[in-house]
Structure 1
Amino acid sequence: MNPENKSEIRSGNLYGLGIGPGDPELLTIKAHRILTSVPVIAYPTMESGKVLARAIVADFIRPEQIEVPMPLPFSVDRSSQPYYDVAAAKIAEHLSVGRDVAVLCEGDPMLYGSFMYIFNRLSDRFHTEVIPGISSTFASAAMLGAPLTYRNDVLSIMPATLEADILRDRLAVADAAIIIKLGRHFAKVKSVLEELDLFSRALYIERATMPNQHIKPIASVTADEVPYWAIVMIPSQTKPQ
C-alpha cells in the first residue's frame, strides 16, 4: 500500500477524570462512562506505594484496560517537575497512536488536582476534556453537617503548608475557611487558630467519605497522628434567615 494513501492516525482524547473524595458512589455518571470505556487509565502513585485514586474506582476497572501508574513525590521538599514530565511523556505515547487516556484525579481535577500538571503539559497537543468531581473540601462540609457559607460570605481555601504568618493573615479576614493538606502541619495550624480565637469554631475531619473517615473534636486531635488527607473547617458565623 502506498504510504500516501494511508489515513492519518487520529490522536486519542485526554480526559482529566474527577473521581470524587473517596466514596465510589460519588462518582458522576459521566466519569463512570468514560472510566469504563477508555482503553488506557493513568493515576498517581505515592512514594510509599499507595495508590489512592485507583483504589477508589477499582471495582470499575476492566482487566483489558492498560494502566499507567504515575509515581509522584508528595513532598514539598522534592521537585515534582521531572515526575510530571515522565508521566506526561508516557501518556502522550498512547495518545499519539490514537488511544484515549483517562487520568484519575481525586476530588476535582482543577482544584489542587494532580491532573492540572498533566493538563499544562499536554492540552495544547491533544484534545482534552476535564470532567469535574466532588472535592473533598465540600464533601467534608456535608459529612460534618456544617453549612459553610451564607449569602455574601467569602470562602477561603488554603493549604496548611503555608507559612504561619500567611495563614494568620488570611484566616484573620476570612468569613469561612477550609484548611487542607494538614499532615505534619497541624501543630502550626492549631497555634494560629488559637491565636486568632478560632479554635473553638474549628471542625476536624480526616479522609472524608472514605471507609476510614474519622470525625473528632479538634481539641482531642494528636498532632503526630494527623494524616495528609485531613481538613480543618471553620464555618461561617453569619446567622441564617
Structure 2
Amino acid sequence: MGRIVCCGLGPGDPDLISVRADREIRAAKHVAYFRKKGHPGQARTIVEGMLATDVSEYPMEYPLTTEMPFDDPEYARVLAAFYDQWAERLARLAREADVVVLCEGDPYFYGSFMHLHARLQNRAAIEVIAGIPGMVGCWNAVGQPIALGDDVTTVLMGTLPEEELERRARSSDALVIMKTGRNLDKIRRALEAAGRLDAAWLVERGTMRGERVARLANAEASDCPYFAIVLVHGRGRPAERAE
C-alpha cells in the first residue's frame, strides 16, 4: 500500500518550501493539486521545475467558483460530490503507489485538502507535511511584527458580515483578514468604523511574483486578487510580568 502525502507549499515562494516537502515532491510519481478550470493553479505553479519528467499529474478542477452563491444548498452538494469523487480516486491510486497532494500554505490551516482528509480516513495511509501559512509570508512582506507582548491576534474571513468584522476589529489587537478579493470595500468600511484603518495593510501575492504591499486606506479594490490578505498590526500591549 502506498501513502497519500499532502505537502504544504508555504506562502508562494518556492524557496520557502520545507526540505521534507521538497524531497517528497521531487521523488513523486503521482501528483495531485487543486485548480480552477482554465488556470494552471497556484500550487502547480509553485512547484514548476521540481517534478520528475515521468510524473503523472492529476489536476483536481473545482466544479464551481463564483457562479453560485456560497449559501445555496446546491453549492454544498456539488462540492461534496467533487470531494467524494477525488477521495475515491486518490484512495484507489494509493493502493499501488505513493500520491503527493500539493497544498498552498499549511494544509491544516484552511487547506482544501482537509475535505479529502476527512473522507480518506481508514481508506489510505495519510501524511501531512507542514507549510508556512500564507499570512506569515504576508506580514513578513510588510516588515513589521504582527503582534507584541500580550497582543491578541485574530484571524477573520472577509466573507463575514460587515457588522461582525467591525465588532471583532474593535475587540482584537492584531488582525489577519483572509478571503478579501471582492470583499475588500466591506473590509475597509468595517476597519474605518472600528478606528483601525490607519493601521491596516493590504498584501497581494505575498512572497510571489507580482507582490504588492500597500496601506489599505490607499489601495484600489477593483482588481484585488484572490491571493490577498489584510493585516492590522497589534497595539503593542505590554506583557504582564509573572508573579
TM-score under structure 2 length normalisation:
0.90
The equivalent of 1:180 in structure 2 is: 178
TM-superposed CA distance for 1:48, in Å, is 4.0
| Worse-matched range after superposition: 176-185 or 209-218 | 209-218
1:41 aligns with one of 31, 53, 57:
31
Amino acid at match of 2:162: A
Distance 1:48 1:167 in 2: 33
Pick one of 31, 45, 49 that aligns with 1:55. 45
Task: Tell me which amino acid in the other structure corresponds to 1:90.
Answer: R
1:119-176 CA distance string (max 9 Å, x none): 1111332111110001111111111101011122221111101111221222221111
CA deviation after TM superposition for structure 1 residue 16, in Å:
1.3
> Which structure 2 residues correspond to residues 109-188 of structure 1 after superposition, within 5 A?
109-188=107-186
Q: How many residues align?
A: 230
Query: Does structure 1 retain, via aligned residues, the 8 Å contact 2:200–2:216?
Result: yes
Q: Cα RMSD (Å) of the superposition?
A: 1.5
Distance 1:58 1:21 in 2: 15
CA distance in 2: counterparts of 1:175 and 1:48, whole angstroms: 40
How far off its partner does 1:37 sit? Answer: 1.4
Change (3 A) 1:151 1:124: farther
Give the share of equivalent positions with the same residue, in percent: 33
CA-to-partner distance for each residue in 1:30-53, whole Å, 9 max, x for gaps? Answer: 000111112211000113424110
> Which region of structure 1 is more displaced relative to structure 2, 45-54 or 228-237?
45-54
- Secondary structure (helix, strand or coil) at the match of 1:58 reads coil
User: Which residue pairs with 1:70 in the alignment?
Assistant: 60
Alignment partner for residue 198 of structure 1, among 192, 196, 199?
Answer: 196
1:15 corresponds in structure 2 to: 5
Partner of 2:131: helix, strand, or coil? coil
Partner of 2:16: 26
Q: Distance in 1 between matches of 2:168 and 2:128?
A: 30
Matching residue of 2:89: 90
Deviations 1:171-204 (A, max 9, x none): 2211111001100000110110110011001011
SS at 2:85 equivalent: helix
Unmatched 5+ stretches in structure 1? 1-10
Secondary structure (helix, strand or coil) at the match of 1:36 reads: helix
CA contact (8 A) 1:47 1:74 kept: no
Which is greater in Rg?
1
Alignment partners' CA distance in 1, 2:140 and 2:97: 37
1:55-79 CA distance string (max 9 Å, x none):
1011101121111110113445333
Name stretches of at least 5 consecutive residues in structure 2 with no aligned partner.
none
Give yes or no for contact 1:168–1:192 (8 Å, CA) kept in 2.
Answer: yes
Instruction: After superposing the two structures, state which structure 1 stretch, 206-215 or 38-47, moved more.
Output: 38-47
Measured in 1, the distance between the counterparts of 2:168 and 2:80 equals 28
**What is the Cα deviation at residue 239 of structure 1?**
5.7
Shift of 1:220: 2.2
Say if 2:107 and 2:113, in contact at 8 Å, map to a contact too: yes
CA contact (8 A) 1:39 1:66 kept: yes
